[in-house]
Structure 1
Amino acid sequence: MPQDEEPPPSKAKRAWIATALVLIVVVGATVGVATRWGRGGESAPSLSERQSRGTDLVIAVGDVTGGEFDPLKGWGSRPAQIRLIHSSLLTVDEDVNFVGDLASKYSVSDDAMTWSFTLRDNARWSNGEPVTAQDVVFTYETLKKDGTRFDLTFVDRIDATDESRVEFHLKEPRSTFVSQLSEIPILPAKHYDADYSKDPIGSGPYTVVDYQQGQQLILKTNPHWYGQRPEFDKLTFLFLGEDAALAAARAGSVDIAYVPPTFADQRIAGMTLQSFETVDSRGLSLPTLPAGNKGKIQGNDVAVGNDVTANPAIHQALNIGLDREEITKIVLQGHGRPAYTLVDGLPWFNEKAVFEDGRVEDAKRILAEAGWRDSDGDGIVEKDGRKAAFTLMYPSDDKLRSDLALVVADQARGLGIEITTRGSTWDGIYIDGKANAVTWGGGRHHAHQLYSMYSSKTIDTGYNNMPQYSNPTVDGHLDRALSATTQDKANEHWKQAQWDGKAGFAGEDGDAPIIWLVRIDHLYLVRDGLHLGDQPIQGHGHEWALFNTLVQWRWEK
């Protein structure tokens, strides 16, 4: 898709759009407009119904359907996304332990080369048929053959030893295999085809009743679900933007609405702001190669490189010169904390990556020593006739990232670096994001993103390693972390990849191809009395993070 070079909507225009969308929501809810609420007479509950404690919920947290229920299209590539309608072999509990989901038990051999799973005997598809070991084998073999959404190249073979037992035999140990085991949705081998997205059969707590792309998703409980029966029979997801979701909350037409930090001071009768700690971080992805290179993103040929950001001094100056605490106060309104890596505070975090930032004079010194000087007195340094100026892209519909881009640009100017911010669609960012800086994000319950974001082996695969970063020392640490036979051994290598005393991608003296700045809290306006379960620390993506505890949601007495 072409780059969207229009600026984000003005405040007045956003307000008008929000009002218009809420009118559509409320009117559609009242009269059951078919074009809005879908097939079979399905409609969203009315305002009066919203104010009662019924068994239906209306939720506006963004578009939850990326991947359209099919892992070959990306379903399962976001944390907790599949929990709506699918199951995986493992899942994450409230203490961020990996525990059985479809698997009633599992074991790993001492050499970490064989992973064995026994399926629960009461697992059924939403059509009533049993989930079998052959379904697991089919799912993983299909994704391994596809090779675009999930990296399973380390798997040698998968055997169904009987109807309920599966063994994965690996070519080499893979410490982050739990990431796939907890995120890949198991597919029904007998019913999967090219049209699977139109009528997905899953083994999760809900089934799809109606899906209208870009508008809404309606789910109803799966009568064959093996787990705790949900208290809510019907879930209606409205794919509203942030402004429109807030307006819908004001109108009383939703039970849960995501709000960015700048809207957190809103007071809405009948709703309470709930805040959840996360590992969800935001920062700047900076191209590390000079302009004129070529590469790929999601299989498409793209331009790679930027002559300004390719200079290591630019990375280092921004890394120590930007004031994370101040950015957190302005952008997050106190709903979050500064971040120095993608994994701050997790077992694989290297505390040596933390340093004093906001050091403007030290940042200027780094630039000057690298030959960057303000020769024309305009406040922006130059080197070899080139100004220290580049573009920072952000998704136009994401207020938090747009605010982050503006604050970073303001602070960078004080260092002598000129940043032009530009809103775009994600399609546009994927096309131009390897030649420009991007407000990047991430954060998982496992360490695999450290490999996918920083290993040179992931360059040109999916949207991994956006900066095209390559450091042989870092690669060595990442490879050893990935192939470690125990989590403790893996953690030591993850830490060394961040900084080993001489090299790394993080820390004051690290390469900083991605400059992490803030870790956000996820904020939701929630109908009074609605309990959202015992949430684990949430992963990246406010759209999906709540769903780990979906079957625990209930009205409090």
Structure 2
Amino acid sequence: MAAVVLLIITGCSGGGGESGRPAARGDELTIAVGNVAGGEFDPLKGWGSRPAQIRPIHSSLLALDADVNFVGDLAAEYSVSDDALRWDFTLRDDARWSNGEPVTAQDVVFTYELLKKDASQFDLSFVRKITAADEKHVSFQLEQPRSTFVSQLSEIPILPKDHYGPEYSSNPIGSGPYQVRSYQDGQQLILEPNPHWYGGKVAFSSLTFLFLAEDAALAAARSGGVDIAYVPPAYADQQIPGMTLQTFESVDSRGLTLPTLPAGNTGKIRGQEVKVGNDVTADRAVRQALNIGLDREGLVELVLQGHGRPAFTLVDGLPWFNEAAAFEDGRIDDAKRLLQQAGWSDSNGDGIVEKDGTPARFALLYPSDDQLRSDLALVVAEQARAFGIEIVAQGTTWDGIYRDGKANAVTWGGGRHHAHQLFEMYSSTAIDSGYNNMPQYSDETVDRHLAAGLAAADPAEANEHWKLAQLDGEAGFAGEHGDAPIVWLIRLDHSYLVRDGLDLGKGPIQGHGHEWALFNTLADWNWTT
């Protein structure tokens, strides 16, 4: 990493010198937005499990437009039966792999059958049969309607049937606007244009992605060595000659997962057995007190420096958001009263309430290398102290979070252009699957609405059930009277320092992940001046 930073400072493709003077506007870009290669270009390793990640080198059947509509990508046209059980696609005639061979319906069948059999990265268990009538027509027959299937069709990268194998990551062949020229694990990725891409000529002959942490990316921007750098909210007001801060609204939210079971249970995360439960957060009153007592506007100002907005659910502002789930927060007296009514009181005068001899104290885990989550944990701990809850912020690794996160609170994140994450984070059927449903939350009414939302054939019907899962009268996981297994707090804007004159196009509202969120418009990037 030190060598990479030295390369930036001494001048790399498109870069400037130590004075920070603007870089020359050539046809090469250098970009520092984090490690964009997670999954190593292979969907069996998780490539495509993050919003917009596949867009540089792969295509999918569908894509998102700027208005968050699902439109054709590899598919020239598609249709869905009235019962939503049959999906038919006609592939575009000009789709080619980066080696010049045509993309066929057989490639689509191969990709989806491969991922269905694997079952670890993408849930395709509801797909009964995938067939190719000829080279250009493919059909999916579903066991039951799946309202979020359309989102998978925009996220799953199509693979070349005749060129896929165990070594695919070392030589990925795709049908997107760029192809891999060089990849150094943990250091950088260099892309060059795919000469056979159906979208036409792209503006840049080379894209170099440097896998730098946030502080190193900012240093690279100051040195003039990169054309785009992601900026954490705490540094979003930086002034760098030759670069302009561009800020994009996102659905990228942060909150706290709170174990809903008492200590002493066991479960699984990513196939490994772990401890489950926490005697403090298992008390619904504690979770509700945090939900109504924490001041989201204050968190936005202190943690995001104003570059975001409060969040009350994972899906605020989206078509499936239940607006009744928003409420007045920062109510310290009400939080104290709620705890007292549930039997929590400060009997020894130390400022921390107890119940049956157990103080309202628990650990809040956050990844040590994530400044935003670190700041969030510390400010939340300070706010919670005001109504008698002691939160001990603990930095760790993601492996540590996966190991200990079902017995402790975790600074969690998410946000997609579809509602499937609601099912993953709150359905009891998702418990012990991957890192889904971290709080081990289970509620019969919520489960019923989530299942109905997932299985709805009509989008409007699906949205109604997603809303009722959040809040169904007095039941649900959201709202001030909800179960609050996850207390969502802030929704951040994505900020980037961008070389003056570089146009990043107009894309949809950005999803979770600073690293990949820009890629929906990658093929449209160009110099305007």
Q: 1:476 aligns with which of 433, 438, 448?
A: 448
Alignment of 1:28-47 (within 5 A): 29=11, 44-47=13-16
Alignment of 1:318-357 (within 5 A): 318-357=290-329
What CA deviation, in whole Å up to 9, does each residue of 1:507-540 have, x standing for no partner? 0100111100011000000000000001211011
The reply on whether 1:262 has 2:234 as its aligned counterpart is yes
Secondary structure of 1:26's match? helix
Q: Tell me what 1:446 maps to.
A: 418
Q: Tell me what 2:518 maps to.
A: 546
Alignment of 1:4-403 (within 5 A): 22-27=5-10, 29=11, 44-47=13-16, 51-403=23-375
Q: Distance in 2 between matches of 1:151 and 1:46?
A: 43
TM-score (norm 1): 0.93
Letter in 2 for 1:87: S
Q: Structure 1 residues 255 and 383 mapped into 2: Cα distance closer, same or farther (>3 Å)? A: same
Give, in angstroms, the shift of residue 22 of structure 1: 3.3
Q: Distance in 2 between matches of 1:228 and 1:415?
A: 59
Secondary structure of 1:190's match? helix
Letter in 2 for 1:524: Y
Q: Distance in 1 between matches of 2:209 and 2:309?
A: 30
Letter in 2 for 1:328: V
Secondary structure of 1:319's match? helix
Secondary structure of 1:166's match? strand
Counting matched residue pairs gives 526
Q: Tell me what 2:500 maps to.
A: 528
Give, in angstroms, the shift of residue 21 of structure 1: 6.3
Q: Distance in 1 between matches of 2:310 and 2:518?
A: 23
Q: Distance in 2 between matches of 1:268 and 1:46?
A: 14
Contact 1:22-1:251 within 8 A present in 2 as well: no
Contact 2:188-2:208 within 8 A present in 1 as well: yes
Give, in angstroms, the shift of residue 211 of structure 1: 1.0
Q: Tell me what 2:480 maps to.
A: 508
Q: 1:467 aligns with which of 434, 439, 454?
A: 439
Q: 2:401 aligns with which of 425, 429, 437?
A: 429
Q: Tell me what 1:5 maps to.
A: none
What CA deviation, in whole Å up to 9, does each residue of 1:414-452 have, x standing for no partner? 110111111112122111111111111111111111111
Q: Distance in 2 between matches of 1:419 and 1:46?
A: 44
Give, in angstroms, the shift of residue 47 of structure 1: 2.4
Q: Distance in 2 between matches of 1:393 and 1:70?
A: 30
Q: Distance in 2 between matches of 1:229 and 1:424?
A: 45
Give, in angstroms, the shift of residue 26 of structure 1: 2.5
Contact 2:504-2:521 within 8 A present in 1 as well: yes
Q: Distance in 1 between matches of 2:369 and 2:202?
A: 32
Contact 1:50-1:254 within 8 A present in 2 as well: no
Q: Structure 1 residues 344 and 295 mapped into 2: Cα distance closer, same or farther (>3 Å)? A: same
Secondary structure of 1:538's match? coil
Q: Distance in 2 between matches of 1:179 and 1:424?
A: 32
Q: Tell me what 1:13 maps to.
A: none
Q: Tell me what 2:465 maps to.
A: 493
Secondary structure of 2:133's match? strand
Give, in angstroms, the shift of residue 189 of structure 1: 0.8
Segments of structure 2 that go 5 or more residues without pairing to the other structure are: none
Q: Distance in 1 between matches of 2:508 and 2:526?
A: 17
Secondary structure of 1:162's match? coil
Secondary structure of 1:435's match? coil
Q: Distance in 2 between matches of 1:295 and 1:223?
A: 49
Secondary structure of 1:63's match? coil
Give, in angstroms, the shift of residue 229 of structure 1: 2.1
Q: Distance in 2 between matches of 1:154 and 1:253?
A: 48
Segments of structure 1 that go 5 or more residues without pairing to the other structure are: 1-16, 31-43
Contact 1:210-1:218 within 8 A present in 2 as well: yes
Q: Distance in 2 between matches of 1:46 and 1:25?
A: 7
Give, in angstroms, the shift of residue 20 of structure 1: 8.4
Give, in angstroms, the shift of residue 294 of structure 1: 1.2
Letter in 2 for 1:372: W
Contact 2:181-2:191 within 8 A present in 1 as well: yes
What CA deviation, in whole Å up to 9, does each residue of 1:360-389 have, x standing for no partner? 011011111111111111101111111111
Q: Distance in 2 between matches of 1:425 and 1:366?
A: 34
Letter in 1 for 2:386: G
What CA deviation, in whole Å up to 9, does each residue of 1:307-346 have, x standing for no partner? 1111111100000000001111111111110010111111
Letter in 1 for 2:110: F
What CA deviation, in whole Å up to 9, does each residue of 1:142-179 have, x standing for no partner? 10011011010110010111111110000000000012
Q: Distance in 1 between matches of 2:467 and 2:456?
A: 13
Contact 1:61-1:258 within 8 A present in 2 as well: yes
What CA deviation, in whole Å up to 9, does each residue of 1:467-512 have, x standing for no partner? 1111010000001111111100101100000001031010010011
Q: Tell me what 1:10 maps to.
A: none
Write out the 4+ residue segments of structure 1 that deviate beyond 4 Å after TM superposition.
none
Give, in angstroms, the shift of residue 299 of structure 1: 1.5
TM-score (norm 2): 0.98
Q: Distance in 2 between matches of 1:199 and 1:303?
A: 40
Contact 2:108-2:158 within 8 A present in 1 as well: yes
Secondary structure of 2:483's match? coil
